[in-house]
């Protein structure tokens, strides 16, 4: 390992290089935000991916594209690509946004606040990642730090159905993972997120004329209604898990006994065990509801989408390590409360890789047309990451 004085010197050189990079970071961010990369807009996502590839075109970084038939391509960048992952530090983000073309477009910046789709969630975080690596490369420190594994997926906003596999293939065995989702008020660092799941409940019955043959029918909507009541009652705020039935469809006409009805459920939970218990309880509710309406059955499709990000001793140490680097550059060092929404930090955690999240620029309004960041937070956020990397030297 390098002497502490050498590591500190490299950290100071890299963070010093970043001190006047705000205009360049703003320019890069404006280019990314200016291209619509809605998850279901793969063409726009691929254009964004090209810009990201240019942004990460740094000496010492190897790039790989993981193609997708459904989404934009997923991107992987590596330093020391032939070294094993056991000392590697993973940096994870996503390029997709939640706004379809025409819904919320363009980049605007008044020098203090920057606005636009994805400026916070999370193209700003991608710029922070890239400039931290650029700083190390520009000051000769990139070859000296531990291997870096960068994954940028294109489907995070829909649960990373492909991205989870790309992340697993790239970062499994890494020593730690930093995720650059939206920075919170006071720069609070995220160590806990709820797990997420989704279920489609399909009630099946038997159609009949409501006037002439009502007794011959089996009402799927009635069975589904009983299921919805039971499923919603499983919500337990004291234990941190919720069931939300957000969409219901069914039936053909008011004078036909419905033979099919569907409900879409969103699930949130704090621990892996709670997720498993919640799914099992919903299955029991489905069986009981169907049994209460003779001639019906309820099938469930789906399950857990993301395991929770759970705080561990290892992630607490990572929190302290990052917080010290953040504090050195005037950022807050506090820990965020439990977050209800999921992210790819949960994927890393489920792989056994200690993870912290919320390391993108400070802002507010993600998933709304009020999405914005504080421009002044771009440089210190990158400095914090560059310092942490510089202090993890291999030689």
pLDDT in tens, 293-352: 999 999 999 999 999 999 999 999 999 999 999 999 999 999 999 999 889 999 999 999
The percent of residues in the chain predicted with pLDDT above 70, rounded, is 98
Q: For each of the domains in the chain, give its residue range(s) and CATH number, in order of start.
A: 4-193+309-390 (3.40.630.10), 195-306 (3.30.70.360)
Phi, psi dihedrals of residue 182, rounded to the nearest 5°? -50, 130
Assess whether pLDDT exceeds 90 at residue 26: yes
Sign of CA dihedral 122, 127, 133, 136: negative
pLDDT band at 4 (very low <50, low <70, confident <90, very high): low
Sign of CA dihedral 383, 384, 386, 390: positive
Q: How much is the pLDDT for 9?
A: 87
Could you report the per-residue pLDDT of 129-153, keeping only the tens digit for each?
999 999 999 999 999 999 999 999 9
pTM reported for the whole predicted model: 0.91
Q: How much is the pLDDT for 393?
A: 79
Q: How much is the pLDDT for 1?
A: 46
Assess whether pLDDT exceeds 90 at residue 27: yes
249 pairs with which residues across the strands? Answer: 262
* DSSP 3-state of 230: helix
Phi, psi dihedrals of residue 251, rounded to the nearest 5°? 80, 165
Angle at 71 between CA 268 and CA 123, to 5 degrees: 70
Contacts of 338 (CB under 8 A, 6+ apart): 192, 193, 194, 240, 270
Structure tokens at 203: 């009630």
User: Exposure pattern of 281-293 as b/e (b: 16+ CB <10 Å)?
Assistant: bbeebbeebbeeb
Could you report the per-residue pLDDT of 233-248, keeping only the tens digit for each?
999 999 999 999 999 9
Structure tokens at 250: 């069914």
């Amino acid at each position: 390992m390098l002497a502490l004085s050498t590591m500190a010197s490299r950290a100071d050189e890299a963070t010093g290089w970043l001190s006047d990079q705000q205009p360049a970071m703003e320019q890069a961010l404006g280019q990314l935000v200016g291209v619509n990369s809605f998850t279901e807009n793969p063409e726009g996502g691929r254009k964004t991916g090209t810009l990201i590839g240019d942004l990460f075109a740094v000496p010492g970084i190897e790039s790989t594209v993981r193609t997708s038939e459904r989404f934009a391509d997923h991107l992987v960048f590596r330093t020391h690509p032939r070294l094993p992952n056991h000392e590697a530090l993973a940096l994870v983000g996503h390029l997709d946004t939640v706004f379809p073309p025409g819904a919320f477009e363009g980049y605007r910046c008044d020098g203090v606040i920057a606005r636009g789709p994805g400026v916070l969630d999370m193209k700003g975080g991608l710029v922070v990642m890239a400039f931290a690596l650029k700083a190390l490369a520009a000051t000769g420190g990139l070859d000296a730090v531990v291997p870096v594994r960068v994954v940028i997926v294109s489907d995070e906003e829909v649960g990373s159905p492909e991205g989870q596999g790309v992340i697993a293939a790239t970062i499994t065995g890494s020593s730690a993972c930093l995720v650059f989702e939206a920075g919170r008020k006071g720069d609070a660092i995220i160590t806990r997120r709820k797990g997420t799941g989704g279920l489609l409940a399909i009630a099946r019955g038997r159609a009949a004329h409501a006037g002439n043959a009502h007794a011959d029918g089996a009402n799927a909507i009635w069975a589904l209604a009983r299921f919805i009541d039971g499923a919603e009652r499983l919500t337990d705020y004291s234990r941190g898990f919720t069931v939300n039935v957000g969409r219901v469809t069914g039936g053909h006409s008011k004078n036909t006994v419905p033979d099919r009805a569907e409900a879409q459920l969103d699930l949130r939970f704090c621990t892996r065990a709670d997720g498993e218990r919640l799914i099992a309880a919903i299955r029991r509710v489905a069986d009981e509801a169907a049994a209460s309406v003779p001639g019906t059955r309820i099938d469930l499709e789906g399950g857990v989408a993301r395991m929770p990000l759970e705080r561990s001793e290892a992630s607490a140490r990572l929190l302290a390590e990052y917080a010290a680097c953040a504090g050195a550059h005037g950022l807050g060092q506090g820990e965020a409360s439990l977050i209800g929404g999921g992210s790819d930090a949960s994927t890393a955690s489920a792989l056994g890789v200690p993870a912290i999240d919320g390391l993108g620029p400070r802002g507010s309004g993600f998933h709304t047309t009020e999405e914005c960041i504080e421009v002044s937070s771009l440089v210190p956020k990158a400095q914090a990451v560059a310092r942490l990397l510089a202090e993890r030297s291999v030689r």
